[in-house]
Chains A and B, each alone.
Chain A
Amino acid sequence: MADSGATQPKPSSSVKLVLLGEAAVGKSSLVMRFVNNDFQENKEPTIGAAFLTQKCNLPTRTIKFEIWDTAGQERFASLAPMYYRNAQAALVVYDITKPSSLTKAQHWVAELHRQASPGIVIALVGNKSDLASEGTSDAADEADAAPAADGDAGAEGESTDARRVPTKTAMAYADEEGLLFFETSAKTGQNVAEVFTAIANAIPETSLKGPRGVGGQTNLGRQEDARVNLGSARAEGPKEGCAC
């Protein structure tokens, strides 16, 4: 997934993406997986927000994600507006082993719908799918009907199914709100790239700033470090960064 340089022949545009969700649901890990294809068990908690970039190649264009990975603890919520300001896409993450994290995700979706840029593309992502055993998402429906019973089942049982949020539930919610929906595992990498590709595809062509030409107000045409994204998709219009 390494960045292939600033000179893509395809049109290239950057998309500001913000990650939101409860603490320790794996936001940072998702980003790590997407950006570095790497997984660290002990990830330092994000203080404020971490910033990373990654490109996503689509058949017709290249999307450069500028990713703001925010801190999950409740009290950091008041800092969130700082990060989702002008965001064109959002990844709202929950943990499929923790129902409360879905509730929190729903709150974030509501916040984004009301406060963020109008056309924002939101993806709901249930992370840690590696903790659910195969094909349990239906069984989990039943488990959900008797939530008290299966409290420790995942921990002790051989099935090691820790899933507590049925796929159906989350999917129904996502449909209702018009969100993209995925279940991922940052640990195994399952579905991670798919999420970002889906977001890239979902960003309407019109909201993209298009290939950036020369003409940004403080554009000095400098050569960027390739690791770093070259511009933002803000309203200030076309900027440097792409040869075409």
Chain B
Amino acid sequence: MFSLANLVQKAQQFIEPALPISNPTSSDHRPSKATLFRHQFRLPDSQSPLQEITAELTLSPHHSTRGTAGDPTSQEKELGKGNHYVGKLHLSEQYLCFSTQASSFLNSASLTSSSSFTGQTHGAGPAGNGFTLPLCAIRRVERLHSQSYMFALAITTWNGNPDTKSKSAPSGQRLTIQLAGSRQQCERFCDALKKGLREGVKDVENLRTVVGQCYSEYLLLDEADEASKQREHPDTGLGLIYRYPGNARKLRDATKIRLWKEYLKENGRTATLIRQPTFHKLIRVGLPNRLRGEIWELTSGSFFLRLEKPKLYTETLAKFSGRESLAIDEIEKDLNRSLPEYPGFQSEEGIGRLRRVLTAYSWTNESVGYCQAMNIVVAALLIYMSEEQAFFLLSVLCDRLLPGYYSTTMYGTLLDQRVFESLVEKTMPILWDHLVKSDVQLSVVSLPWFLSLYINSMPLIFAFRVLDVFFLEGPKVLFQIGLAILRINGEELLDATDDGTFISVLKSYFARLDESAHPKSENPKLRAVTRFQELMVVAFKEFSNITQNTISEQRAKHKDAVLANIESFTKRTSIRNLGPDSKRLNIEDLGFLYDRFYAVLYERQQRAEILQQEANRKAKAEKSKAATIVTGFSGENVQKGRVALGPSPTQMDYDAFREFLAGIAKWAITDSPSSPDTNTLQTAHSYFGGSTRSRPPSSPWGSGPEPADHEFMRRLFRRWDVDMADSLSLQNVVSGFAQVKGTKDIMANISYFFELYDDDGDGRVDREGILRISEALLFLSRRGFGDSASPSASMTDVHGGESPERSNRDEHFLSSVSAFIRRCFEYADPDHPSHQSNQALNEANEDLDNFSIGADDEDDLIDLKSAPPSPTVAKSSKEPSAQASVQRSGLDSSNPDSKPERNGSEPSIKSDKVKAANAALDPNKPLYITLPTFRMVILADEVLEQFFEVGFASSFRLASTTHSQLPMSSNLTTFSNAGKQVSAVSAGLGGVVGGAGAGVVPPGKGLRGMLDNIVSDGMRVAAEVRRRMEEAQKEMDKEARYGRDDEDEDEEPSTKDADLLEGAETAGVDTSKDAASSAGLLTPDSSLSGEINPNRNRSASDASRKVVEFER
């Protein structure tokens, strides 16, 4: 269900061309020449019109159906005698086609030419009189010496199975074609034909196979000689075993067979069949049972598909043998109830055939799979055709004749219902008004007619008569029949005022189709006319103006409304079916998530396609530069259409998830968009790897902002991916959001966050995890939170110098995060059993302390709030962790704060408490925090508390405020430094750690020990850096101190930009030194600083960011 929206979007493209028969290959509104050509001659998609020329086809006189069988071996064909047809001769890669229908596609690509293809209902079908001749079926082409024509070709065909050794049928049929064109034209045509014929030789084998399965071969061979009598009767469907429906005598089957035999003898059969007016007439009166399948195959064009890939059916079955799918489950359910009244489908034989055909098709077209009603249609086909024939005919039905009928949204069905309604409105306004007034919905009645091709509605024998014409003349037949049904029953229907009566009128009509239409007539001939015959006459005479063109115009007209309806239904259902979690989000949010989810997937798919095309074009361009522009574009169109037919994605991978988040949360937008000059760190994760140069001009992220790639996002992705599928469905996303946003309970939010970092789910987060949490907090907070200001406003904030208030908040957050780390380590539990008892005591104490701390923190916060938004503050804000912890321990003197007066007292004594806490920081003693500890630490800080209460949840912006698509890149350049620094730092750390850690034996067990090692290594590195800087520290420190003092007093940065800049720079360096100073001097402290080091660096970069802004 979730995939429907996308399908609909695709369907939009799919129907777009407003084609009589859907044409996925052209993206403009007019069908392409090639499509028209293929549809006119019912050729496979591999064919395209190469040559065309006006020509006159001459068939020897006996080719007319005079009733007496002419001698097929007769050679006395004379020009000027026999039947002449003037039309167009077309040549494609593998076919030579002729039609008397106006079939010039020269100035095609217009709807006018598509109308020519539709044909009138009487006499000429879509393909008119003529032939569709596979080149491999041509045995010889001679150029005739003729006085009257410049070019005359005599074509001899294989006429039937090419390996017939039969003496009595030594030659195939001969047709003479005069080309009417300039000498050049003719010669070009003939050259192309020659080439095609040469190519065609290799297809002869296929032709032999395919033709051998046709009944007409058997029928005509019968009288030839004894040898051919031993030929096996070809499979002409289940009817051969279980009898064909209807009374053969009543259907005058024998007469029909005789007439067809004559016709086929004279006009060629299977591949070489020539369509003359009699052909259409013979189809109109109903096909004989054994020939029905073959003629369906020929008129629908599925014969040519089979000719192209004769083994496709068996190969598909073999390839997927034993595999299971949803479609197969659905097929199984319906096998026993497909035309169950027909004896063939009460047997395992018939059921088996049906199963195989439906299954094979579901594999070849997985986006359609299986749709109820296909079973009925296929069951009907199987009465008259072999499995293979039915398989290919089903393809033609789904792809061309009934586009979108059986798709997962059934948009084709719904659309054609709409079209049918509008045709009723147009042709029978009174009835239509009546329907509207009585509130009868026509489509509830007519939908099954179209969906199962009347097979379910009419008695079988009549439904097959409709099908005979349908395959020849196309989908318009369904409309014509439908209109005629309503017209004939108009009087009665005008009396019906509800669905029930309406349906019963039609039901009883269908039940009496075989009765006389005029039972009381004096005229016996008139009395003999059955209701069905009347129906056919009304359909094809009265509604002869309903052409394929009419249908396609109407389809184009109603397409949008129908698709919009489906979309809204799909969305509604899909949202409703999201499960219990979705109840925690409001409808608008769900709608928003739905739209956003599928928009991201859809856009990504589109982009991937365009990029693919770019790549293709580039590849082509390397070969030949000049001509590619044109071909490239056409190739693009083809590509687009093709993919539109494929299944649509419903799963979101990690990259898509990032993009999805970037549209919803500010923090998910990267700080350093990968412009061509970005560093490799960024491009490494980018969608296109490091190949920035080969990247096409359009961003891989489309018009939206480039998403960030942070560990937190990955964790979120993993957390939401409950099925471990490495991708998210809409359901996953909604459940995820429900957990984040659906609760107003701060405790729940805190636990959620904790669980995100509790990798092994044991209720503990270790040292590394704590650091990661704090990193994530900073990551999430770096653009502020979802306050009342719109994201765009916040963005501009960042861009154009920060408002004091905002930057204040940032500082507070920074300090809170630092405090968080400090406290975490302070209250962490050592991961060692022997410490447990001590720890319990400690915990108790700490719990007590914590309350008083809360008050302290508030003071602290007030202090900070008063501080100006200057680099100094940025710097001082790096300290509060230390500050806080010291305050907590009640020893102000040991505060390693950067303020001068405090600095002085730095090397003072630590309290026992601090020592105890620091003991927990010993890298050799693994530690962890539990959820209660985590909770306590969070609640101890107002800012963090707020963050978990509202900040985090509201950082996702759903329906209420749609995230505006800002041109972010310019703004974001300010962040790129910060981002780079951060990543550089972490990368650096990681690298060193990897090296150093390798040599150290992990003190703990397993992963936990490893992590501890990593942390301690990181600290060692940090300590090393600090020691080196120690020398310069003191002077710098002083310098910075003065600068800071200045700024503390002066809140007008504009007055001394230069100074500020300098100050800021020092501050940037200073902070780390500061940290180092305190860390380097005292061992316990050093380990502590080591822990926070990454964050300090972050703060530092934060400072430098501000510097840059001031500079600007």
Contacts and interface: CB of A to CB of B under 8 A. Distances in A.
B140 to A, nearest CB: 51
Which residue, of A23, A45, A110, has the highest number of chain B Cβ atoms within 10 A? A45
A154 interface: no
Nearest to B339: A44
Interface string A219-244: 11010110111111011100100000
B569 A81 contact: yes
A107 B1 CA distance: 12
A227 B504 CA distance: 9
B495 A222 contact: yes
B380 to A, nearest CB: 12
A36 to B, nearest CB: 15
A74 B1 contact: yes
Nearest to B332: A24
B213 interface: no
B570 interface: yes
A49 B447 CA distance: 9
B452 A47 contact: yes
Contact of B333 (A23, A78, A217): A23
B434 interface: yes
B572 A49 contact: no
Interface stretch (B171-179, B255-263, B402-410): B402-410
Contact of A217 (B330, B437, B451, B494): B437
A114 B337 contact: no
A168 interface: no
B977 interface: no
Interface in B940-999: none
Given A23-B372, A45-B372, A218-B438, A73 B330 contact: yes
B856 interface: no
Interface in B429-476: 434, 437-439, 441, 443-444, 447-448, 451-452, 456
A66 interface: yes
Contacts of B408: 74-75
Interface residues of B, dominant DSSP:
helix
A217 B448 CA distance: 29
A232 to B, nearest CB: 4
Given A74-B1, A225-B504, A45 B337 contact: yes
Interface string A45-59: 111110101000000
A132 interface: no
B441 to A, nearest CB: 6
A235 B336 CA distance: 41
Contact of A75 (B410, B495, B576): B410
A51 B503 contact: yes
A49 B444 contact: yes
Contact of B444 (A51, A231, A234): A51
A239 B437 CA distance: 13
Given A115-B572, A227-B504, A78 B337 contact: no
Nearest to B7: A75
Contacts of A219: 497
Nearest to A75: B408
Interface string B323-350: 0000000100110111110000010000
Contact of B337 (A42, A111, A218): A42
A41 B434 CA distance: 39
Interface string A12-48: 0000000000011000000000000000111111111
A225 B507 CA distance: 12
Contacts of A225: 504, 508
B577 interface: yes
Given A51-B499, A234-B498, A45 B334 contact: yes
Nearest to B444: A82
A225 B188 CA distance: 70
Contact of B437 (A48, A218, A231): A218
Contacts of B334: 23-24, 45
Given A51-B503, A107-B577, A236 B439 contact: yes
B441 A85 contact: yes
B843 to A, nearest CB: 39
Contact of B500 (A42, A53, A75, A85): A53
Contacts of B373: 45, 47
A180 interface: no
B439 to A, nearest CB: 5
A218 B501 contact: no
Contacts of B413: 79
B478 to A, nearest CB: 14
Contacts of A77: 1, 569, 573
A182 interface: no
Nearest to B579: A103
A114 B500 CA distance: 26
B338 to A, nearest CB: 7
Contact of A44 (B337, B504, B573): B337
Interface string B359-390: 00000000000011101100000000000000
Interface in A67-86: 68, 71-79, 81-83, 85-86
Contact of B407 (A24, A75, A227, A239): A75
B372 A73 contact: yes
Contacts of B643: none
A110 to B, nearest CB: 5
A218 B340 contact: no
A118 interface: no
Nearest to A42: B340
Contact of A73 (B371, B447, B570): B371
A44 B376 contact: yes
A178 interface: no
A73 B494 CA distance: 33
A229 B500 contact: yes
B537 interface: no
A216 interface: yes
Contacts of B338: 44-45
Given A47-B451, A227-B504, A110 B443 contact: no
Contacts of A66: 498-500
A236 B497 CA distance: 10
Nearest to A233: B498
A218 to B, nearest CB: 5
B564 to A, nearest CB: 12
Nearest to A66: B500
Interface in B551-604: 566, 569-570, 572-573, 576-577
Contacts of A76: 372, 410
A45 B373 CA distance: 8
B576 A111 contact: yes
Contact of A78 (B330, B336, B410): B410
Contact of B372 (A41, A47, A234): A47
Contacts of B4: 78
A115 B346 CA distance: 41
Contacts of A78: 4, 409-410, 414, 566, 569-570
Interface of A: 23-24, 40-49, 51, 53, 66, 68, 71-79, 81-83, 85-86, 107, 110-111, 114-115, 216-220, 222, 224-225, 227-232, 234-236, 239
Given A47-B376, A228-B501, 9 more contacts: A40-B340, A45-B333, A48-B444, A51-B499, A66-B498, A68-B444, A75-B409, A75-B410, A78-B4
6 contacts: A41-B336, A51-B444, A75-B410, A78-B566, A220-B495, A232-B499
The 6 closest A-B pairs by CB, nearest first: A232-B498, A42-B340, A48-B447, A228-B504, A47-B448, A229-B500
Interface of B: 1, 4, 330, 333-334, 336-340, 346, 371-373, 375-376, 406-410, 413-414, 434, 437-439, 441, 443-444, 447-448, 451-452, 456, 494-495, 497-501, 503-504, 508, 566, 569-570, 572-573, 576-577
